[in-house]
Amino acid sequence: MEETPLETIPAFTPQRRQTNKRSAYLILVIIIIVLLFLGYKAVSSSKNPVPTPTPTPSPIVVVPTATSTPTPAPSVTPTVTPTPAINPVDKDSGLDRSQLSVTVQNGSGTAGVAVKASDVLKNVGYNVVGTGNADNFNYTNVTIQVKAAKSDFLNLLKKDLGFNYTIGAATSDLPDSFSSDALVIIGQ
């Protein structure tokens, strides 16, 4: 028998991956930059100046000597300005404004209009129980709603607000479930 030569199978040797030194250095440099940035942020945030309280000046004390005559310090008497007593009863109708609970709402979107209107109503004696924003800011002029049981107050509210505002709608159809007797919405 004749021997046939066997095929030689090339030997497989796994190749080692060569580490690319350039990319390793690049990654190292990026890590160092990130760490430096974070360190700088930490140090700069801790260096924010803390406001120091401003010292208040001390009063000057004059010590009398043998040749000077002490001057008495002026006495300060607080003056109390009395607030005028508000008579909530309307002269013409005889209605007592303090008996009507009123909620004032801002329907214009301008900050502070509900508080300003509530001050107007309080100054004439109404019982303002709350202020806030209306369901939208598209109201024009002033809208007044009163519960049917308090409809007598509708004309008085219109008169009292009419000195400072233009009255738009005024009705006595406020639902009984509403938390106050009257709703005033201040528009643009």
For 134-159, how does the pLDDT look when each residue is reduced to its tens digit (9 = 90+)? 999 999 999 999 999 999 999 999 99
Residue 2: predicted pLDDT: 61
Residue 19: predicted pLDDT: 56
Residue 84: predicted pLDDT: 46
Q: Delineate the domains of the chain, giving CATH numbers in brackets.
A: 97-186 (3.30.70)
Residue 7: predicted pLDDT: 63
Residue 81: predicted pLDDT: 44
- Give the Å distances, CA to CA, from 185 to 55, 110, 123, 125: 48, 12, 18, 18
- For every residue of 36-79, which 3-state class applies, written as one string? HHHHHHHHHHHCCCCCCCCCCCCCCCCCCCCCCCCCCCCCCCCC
Q: Cβ of 144: how many Cβ atoms within 10 Å?
A: 23
Residue 41: predicted pLDDT: 81
Residue 15: predicted pLDDT: 58
Residue 82: predicted pLDDT: 46
Low-confidence ranges of the chain (pLDDT < 50): 80-84
Structure tokens at 12: 């497989």
- Spatial distance between the Cα atoms of 111 and 130, rounded to a whole number of angstroms: 16
- Spatial distance between the Cα atoms of 57 and 66, rounded to a whole number of angstroms: 28
26 membership: H or E segment, kind and range: helix 21-46
Cβ-contact 102, 127 below 8 angstroms: yes
- Spatial distance between the Cα atoms of 75 and 141, rounded to a whole number of angstroms: 52
Residue 175: burial class (beta carbons within 10 Å; 0-12, 13-18, 19+)? exposed
Residue 83: predicted pLDDT: 47
Residue 6: predicted pLDDT: 60
